[in-house]
Amino acid sequence: MCGIVGYVGRRDAVPLLVDGLKRLEYRGYDSAGIAVMEKGRLEIRKCVGRLSALEEKLARQPVAGAPGIGHTRWATHGEPSEINSHPHTDSTGRIAVVHNGIIENFESLRHDLEKKGHPFRSETDTEVVPHLIEQELKDGARDLPEAIRRALAKARGAYALGIVSLDDPDTIYAARLGSPLIVGVGDDGQFIASDVPAILNQTRKVIYLDDGELAILKAGGVRVMKLDGTEVKPDIREVKLQAEAAERAGFETFMRKEIHEQPRVLRSLLDKHTKDAAAVALQDVGFDDAQWKAVRRIMIISCGTAYYAGSYGRLIIEALTGLPVEIELGSEFRYRDAKLSPDMLVVSVSQSGETADTLASIRKARRAGCKALAICNTPGSSLARESDVVFHTEAGPEIGVASTKAYTAQLMAFALLAIHLGRLRGELTAEQERELVRDLHAVPDAIHYVLARGEEIRAIAQKHGDGPSALYLGRKFNYPTALEGALKNKEISYQHAEGYAAGEMKHGPIALINEYLPVVCLCTKTRDEVYEKMISNMKEVEARHGRIIAVASNGDESVLKLAEDIIFVPQVRDEFSPMVNVVALQLLAYFAAQARGTDIDKPRNLAKSVTVE
């Protein structure tokens, strides 16, 4: 999704803006631009395509100065074009604005402004903002802050805004409502950014703006006020992330690096939340035992990959706690007439903590009196701040658009929560808890083992990855793994892929099977009948000459006869096998994408954080 960076201070803003925008590239974009105050003029450079195109333009038409604001745009209103890219200006060219989010009532605002003589150039919703500010100044606003506040009072929707104006040439104005925006407090200037990694190499002191706040940044400091003009004391926090966490560390892509970080991420979650490798002891999650025990029903809400993590969450919580659990897509839940009650714990799952549909759903559930727990990877995000309690997945910045380490960290969070709840509710004995925790501790090493088989997985991906389609089948705990494996494949390799509950195959997808269709079967050994059922499903695929790629437990001879290719993985407890098996599927998708030559970290049309509906 779009990215925002801004700088005001003694340094030249241009290199800082370009560097910051590069660090936001992972969010996905199709055009970019900057506005910079240069010797009393407001200079704008924008262009379609990658930031390298903007850099070339800046080399041809240099600009230097400060303050400056920059933007990477992911088209929503109007095609990717130079005119539609940000910054947008008012009719006099004195005010420039960058914007993330959507101004929902822009058509009526634009209509009114056009009647008052404002010429519009772009098809964007954003362009109304500088014109509104200009109009408020004409209509008697005392100064720019008042004009901005009055303009924003008229805008409906969501925004994170960076604003500069020749009327206040040493200042950046920044406002947020529903779209993330932070202020970075530096020693030689101040920054704005839509995401922390953009400015992490410049400062670690940040202010997370709240909805309805306006920040006024000057070289020497920052003031924050509400849109009604009341001053707010800025809450400056130290970000713990290291800048290197958002770098590739020698890997060819961020996604590859993040896949390889999974053992470490899971190990540190385990170290933090278990005691003597024998019991779960949740740290900093915020509920006391009585609050956990008061939970009667759980509803999990999330989108995309996080929804599949939630689907796993439902299975593991049901299995270990006896609590009834429902799972909902954020985009559906927010418009449903679901029955909600205060004894219900609503669990959101999100890497970014900014997914619009997940956020809207949590707000709805909290209005109905439910308690909200966020399983979230981004401290300070809207979801983390708006929930009653947070389980921080602490996977570090995930830059690759396709989620990997955040997913396995979400699965681990659910496993730990389920054990904790199961024990508190008397569904698990101390001995059972000890065994579960011991088995969880085997997961990071098992993932290491899968990572070490990268070259075998690459060969399988190269063999099967060029067909038009693939089917992924799994059961019970590995049904979400099949869905996630298929999603990874389509996202980054663009090969059409379907994830299915293996038992559903006979109800339709079996018609697809022929000698060309790769069928990825998750058939690691289980203690129950699920494994046998998977073997039967594989026989059905084999009988129709489908090309089986099995993910199987080390040493499982029976799979050898059925599968064309096998990815052997260490056997871990059934309940925890999704954390291991999914890594094989991440690599399978990764190498298929590499063979197809796609842009793995920034797949087409996708955005890292979906902050609009």
Which residues of this chain interact with ligand F6R, rule CB under 6 A? 303-306, 350-352, 355, 358, 402-403, 491, 609-610
Nearest approach in angstroms of CB 352 to ligand F6R is: 3
- According to DSSP, the residues that pair with 37 across neighbouring strands are 42
- Listed in order, strand segments (DSSP E) in 80-171 are 88-89, 95-103, 157-165
What residue number has its CB nearest to ligand F6R?
304
The count of other CB atoms within 10 Å of the CB of residue 233 is 7
Lookup: tokens for 377:
């990877």
Give the Cα separation of 181 and 159 in Å (integer): 9
- Least Å from the CB of residue 310 to ligand F6R: 10
**DSSP track, 20-82:** HHHHTGGG--SEEEEEEEETTEEEEEEEES-HHHHHHHHHHS----SSEEEEEE--SSS-S-T
Task: Tell me the closest approach of the beta carbon of residue 212 to ligand F6R, in angstroms.
Answer: 23
Please report how close the Cβ of residue 400 comes to ligand F6R at its closest, in angstroms.
Answer: 8
User: What is the closest distance, in whole angstroms, from the C-beta atom of residue 216 to ligand F6R in the complex?
Assistant: 30
Amino acid letter at 315? Answer: L
For 512, list phi and psi in degrees, rounded to 5: -80, -20
- What would the DSSP string read from start to end of 315-339? HHHHHHH---EEEEEHHHHTTS---
CA distance 582 to 487: 11
Q: Choose between 33 and 304: whose C-beta lies nearer to ligand F6R.
A: 304
Nearer to ligand F6R, 351 or 387 (CB): 351
Question: Would you please indicate which residues are annotated as catalytic (active-site) residues?
Answer: 2, 608
Alpha carbon distance 21, 31 (integer Å): 11
In the complex, what is the shortest distance from the CB of residue 69 to ligand F6R, in angstroms, rounded to a whole number? 25
Least gap, CB of 219 to ligand F6R (angstroms): 34
Rank residues 211 and 542 by Cβ distance to ligand F6R and give the closer one: 211
Give whichever of 130 and 480 is closer to ligand F6R, judged by the CB atom.
480
In contact, 167 and 213? CB cutoff 8 Å: no
Question: Rounded to the nearest whole angstrom, what is the least distance from the CB of residue 412 to ligand F6R in the complex?
Answer: 15
Of 358 and 571, the one with the shorter C-beta distance to ligand F6R is: 358
Nearer to ligand F6R, 479 or 531 (CB): 479
Residue 265 or 548 having the CB closest to ligand F6R: 265
Q: What is the C-alpha to C-alpha distance for residues 163 and 291, in angstroms, rounded to an integer?
A: 44
HSE, CB side, 13 Å, CA atoms: give it for residue 141. Answer: 19
Helix (H, G, I), strand (E, B) or coil at 513: coil
CA dist., res. 90 & res. 365, Å (int): 40
CB-wise, 349 or 534, nearer to ligand F6R? 349
CB of 374 to ligand F6R, least distance (A): 10
Asked if 486 and 477 touch (Cβ cutoff 8 Å), the reply is no
Length of the chain: 613
Q: How far is residue 435 CA from its own chain's centroid?
A: 33
Give me the residue label for tokens 């983390």: 384
Q: What is the distance between the alpha carbons of residues 401 and 608, in angstroms, rounded to a whole number? A: 5
Nearest distance in Å: CB 84, ligand F6R:
24
**Alpha-carbon gap, residue 468 to 495, rounded angstroms:** 6
Quick one: 27 or 458, whose CB is closer to ligand F6R? 27
273 Cβ neighbours under 8 A, 6+ residues apart: 280, 281, 282, 283, 416
SS3 95: strand
- Residue among 238, 186, 195, 240 nearest 217 (CA): 186
Q: Nearer Cβ to ligand F6R, position 304 or 485? A: 304
